Structure 1
Amino acid sequence: MGFLQDLFFGGEKDAEMEDETVPNPIPLLSSIANSVVYRCSRILLLPMEQLQQHFEADLPDHVKQPSLYARNLVEYCSFKALHVDTKRPDHLADKDFCRLTYDMMLAWEVPDKESESLPKETAFGNDPKVEDDDRVSLFYESVTRMASQVDGKKTVGLEAFARIAPACPALADPITVHNLFDALTMSSGRLHFLIYDKYLKSLDKVLKSAKCMSGPPHASSLQLADGEIILDVDGVMPTKPVLQHIGMSTWPGRLTLTTHALYFESLGVGSYSKAVRYDLAKDLKQMIKRELTGPWGARLFDNAVMYKSNSLAEPIFLEFPQIKGHARRDYWFAIIREVLHVHKFIRKFNLKKFQHAEALSKATLGIFRYRAVKEAFHIIPSHFKTILAFNLSEKLPKGDKILKALYKHLELLHGRFLHHDAGHDVVETSSDEKPQTGSFPVSLCTLTRMGILLHKEDHPEERYFLDGDVHVGETSSLQKAIKESVCYSGRVEAARATLDQVTIEDIDTNVAVVKELTLPLVELGKRLLFLAEWEDPLKSTVFLMLILYVVYRGWVRYILPCTFLSLATFMLCHKHQNKAKPLEAFQITPPPNRNPVEQLVTLQEVVSQLETNVQAAVITLLKIRGILYSAFPQTTNKVAITLITAAVLFAFVPFKHIVLLVLLEAYTREMPLRKNSSEKLKRRIREWWVRIPAAPVQVVRTKEHKKLKTASSLKHPLQKDGDPNRTCRPSLRG
């Protein structure tokens, strides 16, 4: 165990030594909290006592209640120190920064002496579960479990991570911090330092890679717009290209995603051709979805993304070949959607200048974090567990409230900048003066510090904002909206779990389920048909009198309200009776299994029946067209006289009486007194309809169609032999 302790916790020895050498510790705080406050005071160049005095002077009384004092003091010191420490471009690569931020989380969980003496939860008590992962890292699971066995107490919980991590803009986003924690802990509930350190190293690597991609030669070859950042590139290796499918053509090449567009460079002989740009920023009704693709348009492999917009004549398909699974495609699908959603957010709220840049920077950092998690742990969180802020806001129930709260945050930021820009500049205050807190463009400033984005004149300078977007001991409006939305998402996930349980792939079984579920309606229809056929004259007569009386008295308008009221009463009664009882499973008898040949025969019969129905519908429409355009004068005269008579009736006869006549006529067709005359009338109408010829139809083939289909191959079902454009009449069957 000694070797493992040195391996995993060698960096903790310095922290333990600092715990012992903290000068003038605050009596109320725990040892780890005193260590954190002491290190924060060194970063801020202030004594611990003076830092505590600033805390008591700056914050309201409800934050300094005895039960909250220690934790809020740790928060206050941590936020102020992180605001200073994160100004260094290389802070993510600093081991001391990694250790300090992790200790801040530990101190947040154990801020005072009382909490220090309480037993902590055992780390990694649950089995990890990974969703949508094709290549789970065994190192991630096994080494983490080994580390937790060495020192299970040195782990961080969700609440501590969610409070401290967003104070470092590159590290986490307030909207997705809970999902980021779940991704790092594999849903185990506790975060170990080993995983946290690995995540920071991966994130630092991704940010440095992004900085390199933003420079020549790749960025210059794409001719990027001002402020456009390269987010990721795929297909660089010749053995792992990205395939672009347009129609029947396929090109291998390199795909680049920026904050404004997709660029595809097809691979030529030793070099790439000029990039084709697919815009993601403008409102071109873009649509992107997962799709199957393959050679010559075949739908074989589930590893492609379809992109469609008004600027394209036909959709394009970007295929990400992969031997097993489709994680590569899912990653690109997620980050492309994130760019689309952030621009949708920008257009919806009409963001301008640095508000626009801040929203884009927020999405950019989210994609970099997404890359870091994917590259470090080979997992791709999706659905309600995604760590992309705008994707999550679009998916979560009431996610629009999150976007609205984010807009208000940006609006407040814009107002503060205008206030300072008008001449009320904030100067650096001395340690005795109360600092001004509030929002500032943290994501934009983070990318600018790291050299990924160049500073513009219309962007606010950091000197205008002394503190970050932090709320010591309080919950911001954005965090409240997130909590409300996450609460609803739990219900949605539970509902989705039930859907997965009842989803049946067999078509015959699904048909059987539909029949059983609609059985009450079918039985009701059978009873009405029984009454309409007058098999029991007494019951049919009573029902007819009842219907006529309801219509005559004008009670028809109460039928729908009574139906709704009956359904509500039915549901409430069942709710009262089945209180705290699970719903019983719906039982059905599955149909006998059929072999593939029988299924093919059934499918052929269904297709044949569908074709017959479509042909009958075409014939009906052509006959109606002929009548409307007076192609057959005799028939047109009869139909016109009938329509004029109906118009006169509807104009001068009360509608209630018309309804009574229609009901009486329809219901008494099978009545013994009317049965013979009704059958004779239906026969005459059928004979009249059959005598009506169909209007002519002409099938005009295009030149391309003629090239693809020769005269000896497929012919149009309505076309005879001879001239391909000849006029023909459809069959008058039925």
Structure 2
Amino acid sequence: MAMMNKTRDLIEGIVREASQKWALNRETSLKDEIEEMCQSPSGRRKWISHLSPIANVVVGRCSQILNVSMDELQSNFNSEASETIRSSSNYARNFLEYSCFRTLALYTQVSGHLSDKAFRRLAFDMMLAWEAPSAASQPTLKVAERTTGYEAFSRIAPAIPIIADVVTCTDLFDVLTSSTGGRLTFAIYEKYLGALDRAIKKMKTQSESSLLSDLRHRREERILEVDGTLTTQPVLEHIGTATRPGRLILTDHALYFEALRVVTFDKPKVYELADDLKQSIKPELTGPWGSRLFDKAVMYKSISLLEPVIMEFPELTGHFRRDYWLAIMREVLYAHRFIQKHAIKGVEKEETLSKAVLGVLRVQAIQDLVSSAHVKYETLLMFNLCDQFPGGDVILETLASMITSRRLDRTNQSSCGNGMYSLSALGILSNLGLVSQISMENKLLVSEIVVGEMTSLERAVNVARINYKHLEKAQASINGVKVDGLDAKLAVMKELLQPMIKLQDFLISVARWDEPIKSTIFCSLFCFIICSIEATFQADYKRSFSAVELFSLKSHLGRAGNG
């Protein structure tokens, strides 16, 4: 362990020194740096003729961080890459990927790299260079300096598993570019990495705290999320007719609920996610006296419980808090089901759980950037998405094959990998300090990205997404096809009932608080109408009562007069 710490300290020193030199020398913008290289390719800077100006800049930075010359870096690529990759028409892009993967594998061993502005800029510039890697491709500098597209993001971002993974990469990119027309800006990318850094620090703090210290020690569980610590926003546990407020804690193995006392919390109840107990987790409705009014709860069932447990997440508007917890609880449960189904053990099991942990961290980061109303959490979590996605079973079978069949050959790999493969999830968690440092014999070669090739996982994801698009088109065609006979009559009836259907959809949307402003206005208006009707009724009642009293009085007076 001491040797590993010394090696890490040495790596950190080399990388920090190189990045500081680059930062000090880089007094101009990327555009000016490229223009300088274009004007004097044989000057003080090294120039590789196969590469575009921006690719030369990025490879130059990589060589400084790796502490090798650009010529040596290219020579290493030529010796390590297969003949197919070297002779490919995409030689420039393949060499760029190799340089990027090697650099990222080394750079991510530096503690706090996500908060390093030089790392953020370099990781983004790698994507810009990927879009125009060869000398023949000359992008418009003004455009290239600002945004990058999906293809570049999907090749470079998953090389750092904390930033993205192959399965959910498309959905993550769509969320990040929802306000920028499908192109990723550096400003948003930098904010995203900053949010990731904060999520990691929060998880570290929670896992290093005294929360569940005795219970977590046995399985070295990591705390992923905690809710209900504020008395103004508790989690409510419903078992039968009993309801108790308290604190809910999710680890990568179980769910813990600590009921709230006056000043402390009760001994935690454990709801297992790792063991095979036929568990199910699904959304649930709650309300006073057993009514089903509020869509803000999650129901947990297992064969170890006599009756289901309902966890309610009260909030004034919407059910985003519940949706978030539902997604991350299911992610842990589905990850363990995957492990059980494929009998995954040892370091391979840790790799699988690491993928789930990284997915939760990314969702937490996205929560900082995007309104919860516009995010479907399950699409950003690998095991959630595969559970719902057509072809998801094939994706998981491919992932299982990758995890169980690839183990790092320590005789052929350097301490940071040979550059042909990207990092593993377990490796990045180790670098981030969320798991103990792993030795070489325990490293895995289960990267999702390979230089110059599509991995089997990438192919499975692409096929599944293509088939899903075809399915959507086919469904749209079925919905839009002309009908006759009985179908025509049903279609006419449907059109006649369309206003009622729209009213029903509107009322459901209001009840779910999908759009809080509309729901608030509707409720206020509805309350005003009810109050107005009640006031009118009371006024009419009083007038009627007064008339009856007057008539009775007249009758009484008349009888008195006659008497």
Q: TM-score range by the shorter chain?
A: 0.7 to 0.9
1:248 to 2:241 alignment: yes
CA gap 1:183/1:341 in 2 versus in 1, 3 angstroms: same
SS at structure 1 position matched to 2:387? helix
> Alpha carbons of 1:70 and 1:592: their partners in 2 closer, same or farther (altered >3 Å)?
closer
Unaligned runs of 5+ in 2: 1-25, 38-43, 501-563
The residue that corresponds to 1:15 in the other structure is: 30
Aligned residues: 466
Question: Any conservation in 2 of the 1:397–1:489 contact (CA below 8 Å)?
Answer: yes
Instruction: After superposition, give the CA deviation of every residue in 1:603-653 in whole Å (9 maximum; x if it has no partner).
Output: xxxxxxxxxxxxxxxxxxxxxxxxxxxxxxxxxxxxxxxxxxxxxxxxxxx
Match of 2:295 in 1: 302
Q: TM-score, normalised by structure 1?
A: 0.58
Distance in structure 1 (CA, Å) of the matches to 2:231 and 2:393: 42
The alignment partner of 1:386 has SS state of helix
Secondary structure of residue in 2 paired with 1:111: coil
State the distance in 2 between where 1:84 and 1:492 align: 42
Does structure 2 conserve the Cα–Cα contact (< 8 Å) formed by 1:338 and 1:390? yes
For 1:289, give the aligned amino acid. Answer: K
SS of the residue 1:233 aligns to: strand
| Shift of residue 218, structure 1, vs aligned partner | 1.7
CA distance in structure 2 between the partners assigned to 1:26 and 1:323 by the alignment: 60
Other structure's SS at 1:278 match: strand
Match of 1:174 in 2: 166
Equivalent of 1:56 in 65, 75, 78: 78
SS in 1 for 2:492: coil
After TM superposition, give the deviation of residue 322 of structure 1 in Å.
Answer: 1.3
Measured in 1, the distance between the counterparts of 2:100 and 2:205 equals 31
Which residue is 1:159 aligned to? 151
Tell me whether 1:85 sits opposite 2:107 in the alignment.
yes
* 1:46-72 Cα deviation digits (max 9, x unpaired): 111111122222223332346312211
Matched, 1:485 2:464: yes
AA at the equivalent of 2:153: F
Return the letter of the residue paired with 2:284: E
Alignment of 1:518-537 (within 5 A): none
SS at match of 1:227: coil
Deviation at 1:500, TM superposition (A): 9.5
- Conserved? CA contact 2:30–2:145, under 8 Å: no
Contact 1:413 1:440 in 2 (8 A): no
> Residues 499-514 of structure 1: matches in 2 within 5 Å?
none
2:426 to 437, 444, 448: 444
Question: Tell me, what secondary structure is at the counterpart of 1:292?
Answer: strand
Q: Please tell me the residue identity of whatever aligns with 2:492.
A: Q
Answer yes or no: is 1:43 the counterpart of 2:65: yes
Shift in Å, 1:378: 2.8
Residue 271 (structure 1) aligned with residue 264 (structure 2): yes
| 2:506 corresponding residue in structure 1 | none
Q: If the length of structure 2 is used for normalisation, what is the TM-score?
A: 0.75
Q: Which letter maps to 1:276?
A: K
Give the AA of the match of 1:180. L
Bigger CA radius of gyration:
1
Quick check: 1:381–1:387 contact (8 Å CA) kept in 2? no
Evaluate the alpha carbon distance shift between residue 158 and residue 594 of structure 1 in structure 2; reply closer, same or farther with a 3 A threshold: closer
Structure 1 equivalent of residue 453 of structure 2: 474
Counterparts in 2 of 1:101 and 1:493: CA distance versus 1, 3 Å: same
Q: 1:73 aligns with which of 77, 95, 101?
A: 95
Q: Which digits, 9 at most, give the CA deviation of each residue in 1:354-411, with x for residues without a partner?
A: 1111100111111111111112223477669711111111111111111111111112
Kindly indicate whether residue 391 of structure 2 is the aligned counterpart of residue 398 of structure 1.
yes
For structure 1, which segment, 88-97 or 219-228, has the greater mean C-alpha deviation from structure 2 after superposition? 219-228
CA distance in 2, matches of 1:297, 1:224: 38
Map of 2:250 onto structure 1: 257
Which of the numbers 587, 593, 601 marks the counterpart of 2:492? 587
SS class of match (1:67) = coil
In structure 1, runs of 5+ residues without a counterpart are: 1-10, 121-149, 503-512, 520-584, 596-734
| Amino acid in structure 2 at the alignment position of 1:446 | I
- Structure 1 residues 406 and 439, CA gap change in structure 2 (3 angstroms): farther
Identity %: 42
The equivalent position to 1:220 in structure 2, one of 210, 213, 216, is: 213
Distance 1:256 1:104 in 2: 38
| Alpha-carbon distance in 1 for matches of 2:499, 2:76 | 79
Note the C-alpha offset of 1:32. Answer: 1.2
1:175 maps to a residue whose letter is V
Residue of structure 2 equivalent to 1:105: 127
Deviates more, 1:287-296 or 1:477-486: 287-296
**In 2: Cα distance, 1:301 partner to 1:593 partner:** 27
Q: Report if the CA contact (8 A) 2:128-2:144 is conserved.
A: no
Measure how far apart 1:99 and its partner are. 0.2
Question: In 2, distance between residues paired with 1:428 and 1:179?
Answer: 34
Find out whether 1:233 has 2:226 as its counterpart.
Answer: yes
Please give the alpha-carbon distance, in whole angstroms, between the structure 2 residues aligned to 1:586 and 1:153.
Answer: 52
Mark the CA change 1:109 to 1:453 in structure 2 (over 3 Å): closer, same or farther.
same
Change (3 A) 1:427 1:347: closer
Q: Is the CA contact 1:249–1:296 (under 8 Å) kept in the aligned structure 2?
A: no
Report the AA paired with residue 217 of structure 1: S
Contact 2:342/2:400 (8 A) holds in 1: yes
For 1:271-322, what per-residue CA distance to the aligned partner results, in whole angstroms no more than 9, with x for missing partners?
A: 1111111001111111111111122221111111111111111111111111
C-alpha distance in 2, partners of 1:409/1:71? 25
Structure 1 residues 128-150: Cα deviation after superposition (integer angstroms, max 9, x where no partner): xxxxxxxxxxxxxxxxxxxxxx9
Partner secondary structure for residue 105 of structure 1:
helix
The structural deviation recorded for 1:499 is 9.4
Q: CA deviation at 1:470?
A: 3.8
- Quote how far apart the aligned CAs of 1:224 are: 4.6
Say whether the 8 Å CA contact 1:384–1:489 is kept in structure 2: no
Deviation at 1:344, TM superposition (A): 0.6
Q: Name the SS for the 1:35 alignment partner.
A: helix
**Pick from 187, 195, 199: which aligns with 2:192?**
199
| Cα displacement string for residues 411-437 of structure 1 (whole angstroms, at most 9, x for unaligned residues) | 2224x46xx5xxxx457599xxxx867
